[in-house]
């Protein structure tokens, strides 16, 4: 007789930052974990899961993964969107985790086995000025990493998203409302190419340099930045323009050969389709948790493979170690998977989610535990209650809002 899902738990907690975790338990006692964290909107996904999805899962066969995905996606008139897709993603991750544990296989084996021995990753380096940035770059190089995202302060701006004056950084600030900051594209464009050229001069060739513009430039500004960075030989330039204005990237492409990455805010294959089919990007950045889980993101990767686009999923601290595990299993088993972002986590997060995935010689490894290979340390995980935290909002000097 097929096993059935008996218990659905939605756990909202804050082991140093907020996470939403789905835990499914079957009648046979198999536990599957899913990540449902949407930064700054955690409680909405938790409610969606608790009120609308959880009750539908009780009594279902956990082995019917694709059918459950289709049921939760097509069975709802109101499709797509970050909240619903993260909820479906969490269920999908938990079901794959259960399948892995039932069969005693790590997920990468169920995806067809390894196509690579180790997965390339990139780390974050930031600094208010070039010397501070180079200190962080050097620390990553010393630790064996060879791809680094570089972000820097900008003269004339008080704060810059992605950059802290401290040595640690968390994108979301704990407060009842988002902080507000001023962004000045001209000041940024005047300063940033010189900073990144300075990093290249310091590290020499052979180190992948990445930079994230957080969707804040106009198409022609983005083209100017891409062109200015051509001598540096970037690994990629990320999120140069607002992700939903997809033809903007056509203009950027006409002006520069700097590789382009976008898509961390996408949640379905239909968000990615135009950019991939028209080869307007080089890397698709959708995250496993936000793009409907393993079952759906594999279709995005397959579409990308057809059109010569590579997969490079989002991996900041708000993508929990559960979702990162899924990405790493996919990464070693997917041919066109280029690189996995690994921002890293505070130590308390590692302890709250003990995981088999690990870093070895500057690369990521999924480990060989069955399923996703992540557990929940209940005591630590639930010790700290959710506290509202938001990404900052940026305004131009005239007061209007920039994009993300």
Check binding of 39 to ligand KDG (CB under 6 A): yes
Which among 7-15, 24-32, 100-108, 312-320 is the span making contact with ligand KDG, rule CB under 6 A? 312-320
182 three-class SS: strand
Closest CB 215 distance from ligand KDG, rounded Å: 9
Angle, CA 339 vertex, CA 140 and CA 322 arms, to 5°:
90
Q: Which does 294 bind (CB under 5 to 8 A by kind): ligand KDG, Mg ion, none?
A: none
Please work out the total of residues on this chain that contact ligand KDG, with binding judged by CB under 6 A: 10
Residue 316 touches which of ligand KDG, Mg ion, none (Cβ within 5-8 Å per kind): ligand KDG
Beta strands in 220-372 (DSSP E): 236-238, 260-262, 283-284, 310-311, 340-341, 358-360, 363-365
Per-residue binding letters, 201-230, with Mg ion (x by CB under 5 A): -----------x------------------
Phi first, then psi: give them for residue 3, nearest 5 degrees.
-70, 160
Chain-centre distance for alpha carbon 242:
17
Regarding 318 and contact with ligand KDG (CB under 6 A), the answer is yes
How many chain residues are in contact with Mg ion, going by CB under 5 A? 2
- Nearer to ligand KDG by Cβ, of 110 and 157: the residue is 157
Q: Is the CB of 123 or the CB of 224 nearer to ligand KDG?
A: 123
| Catalytic residue check, 19 | no
34 in Cβ contact with 293 (< 8 Å): yes
- Closer to ligand KDG by Cβ: residue 171 or 193: 171
Residue 184's region, left for phi above 0, alpha for psi from -120 to 50, else beta, is: beta
Active site residue 161: yes
Structure tokens at 222: 């983005």
* Separation between Cα atoms, residue 330 and residue 342, nearest integer Å: 15
**Nearest residue to 12 via CA among 37, 31, 30:** 37
Task: Annotate 12-29 with b (16+ C-beta within 10 A) or e (fewer).
Answer: bbbbebbbbbbbbbbeee
Q: Which residue in the set 260, 341, 352, 364 belongs to the binding site for ligand KDG (CB under 6 A)? A: 341
Q: Could you give the 3-state DSSP secondary structure of residue 13?
A: strand
Tell me whether residue 161 or residue 353 sits nearer to Mg ion (CB atom).
Answer: 161
Q: In this complex, which beta carbon is closest to ligand KDG, that of residue 56 or of residue 393?
A: 393
Residues that bind Mg ion (CB under 5 A): 212, 264
- Enzyme catalytic residues: 161, 214
Residues that bind ligand KDG (CB under 6 A): 39, 171, 212, 264, 314, 316, 318, 341, 343, 391
């Amino acid at each position: 007789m097929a096993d059935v899902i008996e218990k659905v738990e939605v756990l909202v907690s804050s082991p140093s930052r907020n996470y939403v975790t789905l835990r499914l338990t079957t009648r046979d006692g198999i536990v599957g974990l899913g990540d449902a964290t949407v930064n700054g909107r955690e409680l909405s996904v938790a409610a969606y899961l608790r009120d609308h999805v959880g009750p539908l899962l009780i009594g279902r066969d956990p082995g019917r993964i694709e059918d459950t995905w289709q049921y939760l996606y097509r069975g709802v008139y109101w499709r797509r969107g970050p909240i619903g897709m993260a909820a479906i993603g969490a269920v999908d991750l938990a079901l794959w985790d259960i399948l892995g544990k039932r069969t005693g296989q790590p997920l990468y084996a169920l995806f067809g086995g390894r196509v690579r021995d180790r997965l390339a990753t990139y780390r974050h380096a930031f600094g208010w000025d070039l010397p501070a940035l180079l200190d962080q770059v050097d620390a990553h190089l010393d630790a064996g990493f060879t791809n680094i995202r570089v972000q820097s302060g900008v003269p004339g701006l008080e704060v810059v998203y992605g950059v802290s004056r401290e040595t640690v950084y968390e994108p979301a600030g704990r407060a009842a409302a988002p902080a507000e900051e001023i962004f000045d594209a001209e000041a940024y464009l005047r300063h940033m190419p010189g900073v990144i050229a300075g990093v290249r001069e310091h590290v020499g060739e052979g180190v992948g340099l990445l930079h994230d513009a957080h969707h804040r430039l106009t198409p022609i500004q983005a083209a100017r930045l891409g062109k200015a960075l051509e001598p540096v030989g970037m690994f990629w330039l990320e999120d140069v323009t607002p992700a939903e204005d997809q033809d903007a990237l056509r203009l950027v492409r006409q002006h520069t050969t700097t590789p382009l990455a976008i898509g961390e805010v996408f949640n379905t294959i239909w968000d990615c389709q135009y950019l991939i089919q028209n080869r307007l990007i080089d890397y698709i950045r959708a995250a496993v948790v936000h793009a409907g889980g393993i079952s759906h993101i594999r279709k995005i990767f397959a579409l990308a493979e057809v059109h010569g686009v590579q997969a490079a999923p989002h991996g900041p601290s708000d993508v929990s170690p559960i979702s990162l595990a899924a990405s790493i299993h996919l990464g070693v088993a997917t041919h066109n998977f280029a690189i996995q972002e690994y921002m890293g986590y505070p130590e308390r997060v590692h302890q709250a989610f003990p995981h088999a995935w690990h870093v070895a010689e500057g690369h990521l490894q999924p480990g060989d535990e069955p399923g996703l290979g992540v557990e929940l340390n209940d005591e630590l995980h639930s010790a700290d209650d959710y506290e509202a935290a938001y990404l900052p909002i940026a305004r131009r000097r005239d007061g209007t809002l920039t994009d993300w």
